[in-house]
């Protein structure tokens, strides 16, 4: 096994963003190829999931892990967790991952000496996390010690944040009569859709998995549109719950929704997309704030072992978002820039206290 903490050209990478370490990992015996990025450990060890994905090349994988890792620093800070930010990606070759690969990944995590704590993400489920835990103690969300799948808590946080955004932008406490367009009906998106339906919303859904989205549409009496049309569907709220980059120079002018609130990480393609949304009068719930429910459930499983108590803790994200929306109304910046400032202020205060 090789761990190479330095990469040529890394410091000038546009998404480098001051990462503490970036490790390129390979294990020929198991076929593991991974990148582990530790962005900032000021508030504590860097907690962030491990994503396994068939990337369109190594450059795409590197960009993804750097952006996700920085996002975890911001997310953990705004969520009030004493944890830093990091992330891992495993470059999938399309074959089934083996226990040997998860064990090799666990051994690599060990080499970082506890600076990085891993968990599940897209492409790594409970079985993978449990297999990693056979080789490493630096894992959260195992079936032995955790609350299980974090997705329902992520969905609960997104639902709480979506309601806070609707109240702020549209002045209503209920989703009754509103239309929500959900892009991506996987673990989180499907649960967000179910919660919104229970609250009276009409739903428009889209997913590349046609059979799954059709079944969910039947369950929720929803309509289905093509994946390249969902952002433009006539709706009050657009909920990006697939992968990143849903909000960009092409899609933002086509949005009809007045609120964007969804689970996906890295929803903004470029930082200036936050201003594009604000200019159009669209209220954007920053992704790294609204989707923190899952990491909260992983990080605080021992402090809030009961589902209801954890839901209450996660639901506080709605209050955090309301404060961000008010600050944006007061002219303090875009919702995204305000949330970034909040995170950075907490990290800076912690750094000062240490000195």
Q: Any idea which residues carry the catalytic annotation?
A: 87
Q: Where are the strands (E) in the chain, listed by range?
A: 2-4, 21-27, 32-40, 46-47, 50-53, 84-91, 116-117, 179-183, 202-206, 223-224, 237-240, 259-260, 283-284
Binds ligand NAD by CB under 6 A, chosen from 100, 227, 232, 327: 227
Residue closer to ligand NAD, measured from CB, 106 or 161:
161
Question: Cα 67 to the chain's mean position, in Å?
Answer: 11
Which segment (8-16, 135-143, 237-245, 343-351) binds ligand NAD by CB under 6 A? 237-245
Binds ligand NAD by CB under 6 A, chosen from 189, 286, 315, 318: 189
Helix, strand or coil for residue 186?
coil
Helix, strand or coil for residue 276?
helix
Binds ligand NAD by CB under 6 A, chosen from 91, 104, 241, 314: 241
Do residues 132 and 139 make contact, with C-beta atoms less than 8 angstroms apart? yes
Do residues 324 and 289 make contact, with C-beta atoms less than 8 angstroms apart? yes
Provide, for the chain, the percentages of residues in helix, strand and coil under a 3-state DSSP scheme, each rounded to the nearest 5: 45, 15, 40
Do residues 54 and 43 make contact, with C-beta atoms less than 8 angstroms apart? no
Residue closer to ligand NAD, measured from CB, 125 or 333:
125
- C-alpha 127/C-alpha 133 separation (Å) is 10
CB of 232 to ligand NAD, least distance (A): 13
Residue closer to ligand NAD, measured from CB, 5 or 148:
148
Which segment (20-28, 54-62, 260-268, 347-355) binds ligand NAD by CB under 6 A? 260-268
Helix, strand or coil for residue 65?
helix
Q: Is 327 in the site for ligand NAD (CB under 6 A)?
A: no
CB of 123 to ligand NAD, least distance (A): 7
Binds ligand NAD by CB under 6 A, chosen from 54, 127, 208, 303: 208
Do residues 118 and 35 make contact, with C-beta atoms less than 8 angstroms apart? no
Q: Which helix (H) or strand (E) holds 189?
A: helix 187-198
Q: Is 92 in the site for ligand NAD (CB under 6 A)?
A: no
Binds ligand NAD by CB under 6 A, chosen from 264, 268, 283, 299: 264
Going residue by residue from 265 to 294, which x/- string records binding to ligand NAD, judged by CB under 6 A?
x-------------------------x--x
Q: Applying CB under 6 A, what is the total number of residues that bind ligand NAD? A: 24
- Residue with token string 């967790």: 81
Residue closer to ligand NAD, measured from CB, 84 or 294:
294
CA nearest to 102, candidates 66, 142, 42, 63: 142
Q: Is 64 in the site for ligand NAD (CB under 6 A)?
A: no
CB of 241 to ligand NAD, least distance (A): 5
Q: Which helix (H) or strand (E) holds 12?
A: none
Name the H helices within 79-182. Answer: 99-111, 126-133, 151-170
CB of 352 to ligand NAD, least distance (A): 30
- Give just the sign of the alpha carbon dihedral 184, 190, 192, 197: positive
Q: Residue 38 corresponds to which tokens in the numbers above?
A: 């530790």
Residue closer to ligand NAD, measured from CB, 154 or 160:
154
- Name which of residues 102 to 161 contact ligand NAD (CB under 6 A): 122, 150-151, 154
Which segment (39-47, 183-191, 299-307, 347-355) binds ligand NAD by CB under 6 A? 183-191
Which segment (136-144, 165-173, 179-187, 275-283) binds ligand NAD by CB under 6 A? 179-187
Question: Cα 222 to the chain's mean position, in Å?
Answer: 25
Q: Which residues bind ligand NAD (CB under 6 A)?
A: 122, 150-151, 154, 183-189, 206-209, 227, 241-243, 263-265, 291, 294
């Amino acid at each position: 096994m090789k761990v190479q903490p330095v990469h040529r050209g890394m410091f000038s990478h546009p998404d480098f963003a001051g990462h503490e370490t970036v490790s390129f990992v390979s294990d020929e015996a198991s076929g593991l190829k991974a990148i582990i990025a530790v962005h900032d450990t000021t508030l504590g060890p860097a907690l962030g999931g491990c994503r396994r994905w068939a990337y369109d090349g190594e450059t795409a994988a590197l960009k993804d892990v750097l952006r996700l890792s920085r996002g975890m620093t911001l997310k953990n800070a705004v969520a009030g967790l004493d944890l830093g930010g990091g992330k891992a990606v495993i470059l999938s070759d399309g074959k089934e991952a083996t226990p040997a690969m998860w064990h090799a990944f666990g051994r690599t995590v060990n080499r970082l000496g506890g600076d990085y704590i891993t968990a599940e993400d897209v492409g790594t489920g409970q079985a993978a996390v449990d297999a990693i835990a056979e080789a490493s103690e630096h894992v959260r969300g195992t079936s032995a010690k955790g609350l299980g799948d974090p997705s329902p808590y992520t969905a609960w946080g997104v639902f709480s944040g979506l309601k806070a955004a609707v109240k702020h932008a549209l002045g209503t406490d209920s989703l009754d009569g509103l239309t929500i367009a959900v892009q991506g009906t996987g673990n989180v998106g499907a649960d967000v859709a179910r919660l919104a339906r229970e609250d009276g919303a009409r739903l428009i859904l889209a997913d590349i998995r046609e059979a799954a989205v059709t079944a969910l549409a039947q369950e929720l009496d929803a309509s289905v549109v093509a994946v390249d049309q969902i952002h433009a569907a006539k709706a009050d709220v657009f909920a990006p719950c697939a992968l990143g980059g849903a909000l960009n120079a092409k899609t933002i002018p086509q949005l009809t929704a007045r609120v964007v609130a969804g689970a996906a990480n890295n929803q903004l393609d470029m930082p200036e997309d936050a201003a594009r949304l604000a200019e159009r009068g669209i209220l954007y719930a920053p992704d790294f704030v609204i989707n923190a429910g899952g990491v909260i459930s992983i990080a605080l499983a021992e402090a809030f072992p009961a589902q209801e108590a954890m839901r209450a803790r996660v639901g506080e994200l709605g209050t955090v978002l309301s404060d961000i929306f008010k600050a944006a109304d007061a002219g303090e910046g875009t919702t995204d820039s305000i949330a970034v400032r909040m995170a950075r202020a907490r990290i800076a205060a912690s750094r000062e206290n240490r000195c």
